[in-house]
Amino acid sequence: MALGFPGFRSGAGGPGRISPVMCEHCGTDRHLDIKAVTDLPDHPADVVVASYTCGRCGLFSEHPARVADLSMVLGRREQTGDLLIFGWHYLHCGELMKKTGSELRRLSASVSSDSAPGDTRDVYLSTRVLKCRCGFRLEVPE
Could you tell me if residue 93 is inside a domain? no
Residues 78 and 14 reside in one and the same domain: yes
Residues 81 and 110 reside in one and the same domain: no
Which tens digits make up the pLDDT trace of 54-76?
989 999 999 999 988 888 887 77
The Cα–Cα gap between 54 and 65 comes to 16
- The residue type found at 73 is V
Q: Which domain holds residue 18?
A: 1-87
Q: Give which of 77, 99, 79 is closest to 88, Cα–Cα.
A: 99
Q: CA-CA distances (angstroms) from residue 132 to 36, 85, 86, 139? A: 17, 13, 15, 12
Which tens digits make up the pLDDT trace of 87-116?
777 888 777 889 999 999 888 888 777 767
Residues 138 and 97: beta-carbon distance below 8 Å: yes
Final residue before a domain boundary, out of 87, 110, 126: 87
Could you tell me if residue 61 is inside a domain? yes
pTM for the whole structure: 0.59
The Cα–Cα gap between 55 and 101 comes to 33
